[in-house]
Structure 1
Amino acid sequence: MHLAAPVAPIAPHPLLLFLLGMLVLLTLARLLGRLAERFGLPSVVGELVTGMLLGPSLLGHLAPGISGWLLPTQPPEQIHLLDAVGQLAVLLLVGITGTHLDTRILRRQGRTAATVSLIGLTVPLALGIGLGFVLPGSLLGDGHSGRWVFALFIGVAMCVTAIPVIAKTLTDMRLLHRNIGQLTLAAGMVDDAVGWLLLSVVSAAATVGVSAGVVSLSVGYLIGFVALAGTVGRVLVRKVMDLAARREESGPAVAAAVIILLACGAITLSLGMEPVFGAFIGGILIARSRVAQPKLAPLRTVVLSVLAPLFLATAGLRMDLTALWHPTTALAAVALLALAIIGKFAGAYGGARMSGLSRWEGLALGAGMNSRGVIEVIVALTGLRLGVLNTATYTMVILVAIVTSVMAPPLLRISMRRVARTEDERLRLLDHEEWLGHRLPEHDVVRRDAA
């Protein structure tokens, strides 16, 4: 019997470049994150800027030799090593975010979350499609999909919301336990579900065309996955996590949680949706096991301290601000950024006010939902890969992701100062601190348990 030759391991030189790239990205991301905190901003701001500084926008422009040696894009397998780490990081980041989502808020304010999300989607989507039809033809990609597919891509890019960046921002600002923080995550989850559906439909239109059958199949997969997760998955995941949490050490619970998040991500990816949506649903299911939550603190520490900064740093490596030096392109970038911000704020604020929330609560929701982050990057990369976007348009879309993510923290800080705290929020904060492994005063534990 003929045996296949074993696959050779990665060569020393590519491995060295990978390790050096990881070293520089993580070190600079942590340093810039701390610098951002010194200026009163969450660390996510500095971490997002890291890739922009090391990519073609700065280092690649000023010292292309150093940039090409440290972070080579050829062969493509080299940069794909960093991409793989980033994908693992974003899956785990979204997953642990899902474990923080209070499903009681969803039951009480599900209609509010849906209203905020859907209005916050449709307004920027319409503005983006309209803008896509008037942008210069030089911004279209080399593909043959046509102007209308390009316009749909611009609309999808303007209407999405980024749960990973929202989660990191809310965590850094200690707002994840607040009702508005929970409502922002809930509305963001609806945004993500619709956004993945729209992206799959537009991607199909750019390749094989779109039909009622393609749309129906995507919607059916989405509904089927959520229904299965809420029934069979809910029971199965809780039993697995409860069993893993019986061990005194935290290792089994951490391993079980990672396995569940990877499995959920793989399922949604195989169904044509993005894996981060599956990981978020997996995190919600993991949260059903109360006994396992304190044992997941080590996972959260590694993800937020190491993996998340690495992912956020890699997001800007393909961005090239020098592509925006042409006056027409720069004007188009300003128009895209302005409409993206106005559309998302107007939609989220309008949905909040229609649902009976206060003006400041509406502004806080608008600030949180305005963060595009990683989801914008995924949309941009998809458009670039399919030939719908070119480098200049891709950079414009990534610029929207970075600027909107940087805008969120100060606006959230201003608006949340004027939103009164509730007793439910205080109790949820105690649960959150205990989940992180922080020691609680005895009287707080008694009051929490009594409630």
Structure 2
Amino acid sequence: MAPAELSIYFFAQLAIIIAAARGVGWAARKWLGQPQVVGEMIAGVVLGPSLFGLIFPEIQQALFPKDSRTLLFVLAQLGVGLYMFLVGLQFRSDKFRANVKSAASVSIAGMAAPFLIAMLIAPLLLANGGLFTAGVDQVQATLFMGAAIAITAFPMLARIIHERGLSGTRLGTLSLSAGAIDDAAAWTVLAIVLASLGAGPMVAIKAIVGGGLLALFILFAGPRLLAPLGRIAAREGKVSQSLLGVTLILFAAAALGMDWAGLHAVFGGFLLGTVMPRGVFATEVRRMLEPVTVVLLLPIFFTFSGLNTQMSLLADPSMFLIAGGILVASIAAKGVACWGAARLTGQDNPTAMAIGALMNARGLMELIIINIGLQRGIITPALFSILVLMAIVTTLMASPLFELVYGRKARAEGSLGELGAEQGEEVQSGLNAPCGINPPSLTK
């Protein structure tokens, strides 16, 4: 495809992607009471072969030809990398440390049960023959499925906590801290799987040692090396375009380093965000990057995921049963384990059930993991589609289930704040929630 022709396709695709993301996102807020980002996840699937391509296959293929998807892929990686950078930029290590002991038991249970389920189902999935690629062994399949089931949508969880009036409560802080531990463990496991799939031991060593050293450098040397950026921003009362340029160069370098190591750019983006200066610098960088990331780039990631999602594959009775089994097992493993751990640590039954409901949301984090799995040749489109379904269902059910088991009764008793009535465009991404996250940077 010629560059001029690719440009025509790209702008047509971009218009459709943004329109679908905003439209379905609005419908999700209006009729389902869900955050904007949930609707955008669904919009990505709608634009793919699962719906648009099923009803109008010729039009869908004409709008999204395979030759044009390379550009979408690159922009999708940029979008999800910047998103994870923004998530890291808002991560509050002090809140995390203050609740780490209480959250550890919930988090360990929320990881142990999914990995146990993964150990049980991985041989069955491998025996099916159409879910994992030929080079994946049982250990790798178990680790990947364990990470996929154990993951919690950290930014989505923060948004739900904010909207449900849990900001500053023990329940909200405990859930968010446990979710952070879960995600850190899941990313670590995924890094091990990616390293183990390298072409030879040197590739694995490069990924584990190189990626590990880069992560340690960012975490331990980063705060001191980056502190001058915060001082400049505080002195000037803003982040200049030059300072923003330096920040984006550092983001690209961190993403490049993790990609070079054989892992993924999102690791570099998130780690860099966690060590960036807070205060004026963090607030202004978010203000400048968040709109273009959330409104423009992130919907491209959802659409690229949707183009790889083929729900029609689940029409086969055997695949449908596998999808149902994975969904039920995943929800039960995560929810019941977190509920049980909360009860054992002294929480009452409604609070424990609320923790189980909140921890079950997988959202965008799940999509990131399974996209990496598909790109790196770990899973096939069939298992990818099954796990997309799991991501959407578990995210959709989190808020209503929380209200059912805890929220309504707590509000009636006056022990919980009112639902956030204002759901402005700027805070629907799941990024701008308190309770372990810096306060919202944009308000209407």
TM-score, length-scaled by structure 1 = 0.80
For 1:139, what is the secondary structure of its paired residue? coil
CA distance in 1, matches of 2:88, 2:121: 34
Which residue of the partner structure matches residue 231 of structure 1? 220
Write the mapping of 1:371-386 to structure 2, written as runs, cut at 5 A: 371-385=361-375
Which residue of the partner structure matches residue 232 of structure 2? 243
Q: Tell me whether 1:196 sits opposite 2:184 in the alignment.
A: no
Q: Tell me which moved more, 412-421 or 398-407.
A: 412-421
1:354 CA drift (Å): 4.0
The aligned amino acid for 1:199 is L
CA distance in 1, matches of 2:134, 2:259: 24
1:393 CA drift (Å): 1.9
CA distance in 2, matches of 1:171, 1:258: 29
CA distance in 2, matches of 1:209, 1:248: 51
CA distance in 2, matches of 1:127, 1:345: 13
CA distance in 2, matches of 1:68, 1:376: 26
- The number of residue pairs the alignment matches comes to 420
Q: Tell me which moved more, 131-140 or 326-335.
A: 131-140
Which residue of the partner structure matches residue 29 of structure 2? 37
1:157 CA drift (Å): 2.3
Which residue of the partner structure matches residue 310 of structure 2? 320
Instruction: Check 1:290–1:360 CA distance in 2 against 1; reply closer, same or farther (3 A cut).
Output: farther
1:375 CA drift (Å): 3.6
Q: Tell me whether 1:137 sits opposite 2:137 in the alignment.
A: no
Which residue of the partner structure matches residue 270 of structure 2? 280
For 1:436, what is the secondary structure of its paired residue? coil
The aligned amino acid for 1:100 is Q
CA distance in 2, matches of 1:302, 1:386: 27
Maintained 8 Å contact 1:55/1:318: yes
Which residue of the partner structure matches residue 45 of structure 2? 52
The aligned amino acid for 1:316 is G
1:91 CA drift (Å): 2.1
Maintained 8 Å contact 2:177/2:436: no
Over 6 Å off, 4+ runs? 171-174, 430-434
Instruction: Check 1:175–1:130 CA distance in 2 against 1; reply closer, same or farther (3 A cut).
Output: same
Instruction: Check 1:141–1:289 CA distance in 2 against 1; reply closer, same or farther (3 A cut).
Output: closer
Instruction: Check 1:88–1:142 CA distance in 2 against 1; reply closer, same or farther (3 A cut).
Output: closer
Which residue of the partner structure matches residue 162 of structure 1? 153
Maintained 8 Å contact 2:85/2:270: yes
1:169 CA drift (Å): 5.0
Write the mapping of 1:412-451 to structure 2, written as runs, cut at 5 A: 412-414=402-404, 415-416=406-407, 418=410, 420=415, 435-438=440-443
Instruction: Check 1:309–1:184 CA distance in 2 against 1; reply closer, same or farther (3 A cut).
Output: farther
The aligned amino acid for 1:295 is E
Instruction: Check 1:303–1:264 CA distance in 2 against 1; reply closer, same or farther (3 A cut).
Output: same
1:430 CA drift (Å): 11
CA RMSD of aligned residues (A): 3.5
Write the mapping of 1:265-344 to structure 2, written as runs, cut at 5 A: 265-286=255-276, 288-296=277-285, 297-344=287-334
Gaps of 5+ in 2: 418-432
The aligned amino acid for 1:233 is G
The aligned amino acid for 2:149 is M
1:421 CA drift (Å): 6.0
Maintained 8 Å contact 2:238/2:280: no
Q: Spell out, residue by residue over 1:227-264, the C-alpha distance to the aligned partner (whole angstroms, 9 max, x if none).
A: 43343211222221321443355444544444444333
1:321 CA drift (Å): 0.8
The aligned amino acid for 2:225 is L
The aligned amino acid for 2:189 is L
Maintained 8 Å contact 1:36/1:43: yes
Which residue of the partner structure matches residue 112 of structure 1? 102
Maintained 8 Å contact 1:266/1:275: yes
Q: Tell me which moved more, 17-26 or 359-368.
A: 359-368
Maintained 8 Å contact 1:44/1:169: no
Maintained 8 Å contact 1:97/1:167: no
Instruction: Check 1:227–1:154 CA distance in 2 against 1; reply closer, same or farther (3 A cut).
Output: closer
Which residue of the partner structure matches residue 448 of structure 1? none
Q: Spell out, residue by residue over 1:382-425, the C-alpha distance to the aligned partner (whole angstroms, 9 max, x if none).
A: 44445543332221122112211222232345545638569xxx
Maintained 8 Å contact 1:43/1:172: no
The aligned amino acid for 1:365 is I
Which residue of the partner structure matches residue 420 of structure 2? none
Instruction: Check 1:349–1:204 CA distance in 2 against 1; reply closer, same or farther (3 A cut).
Output: same
Q: Spell out, residue by residue over 1:138-183, the C-alpha distance to the aligned partner (whole angstroms, 9 max, x if none).
A: 4344514345544443333222233354456556767666655554
Maintained 8 Å contact 1:21/1:71: yes
Q: Tell me which moved more, 191-200 or 220-229.
A: 220-229
Which residue of the partner structure matches residue 10 of structure 2? 18
1:69 CA drift (Å): 1.3
Maintained 8 Å contact 1:240/1:256: no
Q: Tell me which moved more, 118-127 or 253-262.
A: 253-262
CA distance in 2, matches of 1:63, 1:182: 46
Which residue of the partner structure matches residue 446 of structure 1? none
Which residue of the partner structure matches residue 407 of structure 1? 397
Q: Tell me whether 1:128 sits opposite 2:118 in the alignment.
A: yes
Instruction: Check 1:20–1:123 CA distance in 2 against 1; reply closer, same or farther (3 A cut).
Output: same
CA distance in 1, matches of 2:394, 2:334: 10
TM-score, length-scaled by structure 2 = 0.81
The aligned amino acid for 1:42 is P
CA distance in 1, matches of 2:169, 2:76: 28
CA distance in 2, matches of 1:375, 1:265: 17
CA distance in 1, matches of 2:28, 2:162: 15
Q: Tell me which moved more, 251-260 or 87-96.
A: 251-260
CA distance in 1, matches of 2:264, 2:434: 31
1:207 CA drift (Å): 5.0
